Homo-oligomer: A and B are copies of this chain.
Amino acid sequence: MLTRKGKYGLKAMILLAKEHGHGPVLIGDLAEREAIPKKFLENILLALKHRGLVHSRKGPHGGYQLGRTPEKISVGEIVRALDGPLALVSCVSQTAYAPCEECVTEKDCAVRRVFQEVRDETARILDGTTLATAASMEAR
């Protein structure tokens, strides 16, 4: 499941993509426009900031902006930053590989092979979709 954290984060990032080039947006504005609890969104944006996906400015006229242009930020990056690896089993994760404890024969584990394919397709879609694409899907 995509957690609320991930969903909220994606929605906020898409909104920031739409506002890209128009100066920083306040957490409060983001929270209100997307109906996200403000304090929760603070945590989310902070995590995104630590990954360099957003930049922030404090003080009056502060707020958040995308860390890169919308064309250069993928949905996959955001999901990984907030919800962790895309892989459904750790033994097929690219970003957080870990062998299954009990799995002796990883090489020919059918579960692994099938979920490797799922991961690859998921990554293809999510890493192939940028914020620019996502933003353009929505009516203004």
Q: Which residues of A contact B (CB under 8 A)?
A: 1-2, 7, 10-11, 14, 34-36, 75, 88-89, 100, 102, 105, 108-111, 113-115, 117-118, 121-122, 125-126, 129, 134-135, 137-139
Copies of this chain present: 2
Overall SS of chain A's interface? helix
Contact A121 B125 (CB under 8 A): yes
Q: A110-B137, A111-B134, A121-B121 are in contact. List 4 more A-B contacts (CB 8 A).
A: A7-B89, A35-B102, A108-B137, A118-B125
Give Cα A100–Cα B7 distance, bound, in whole angstroms.
10
Choose from B14, B35, B114 the contact partner of A111 (Cβ within 8 Å).
Answer: B14
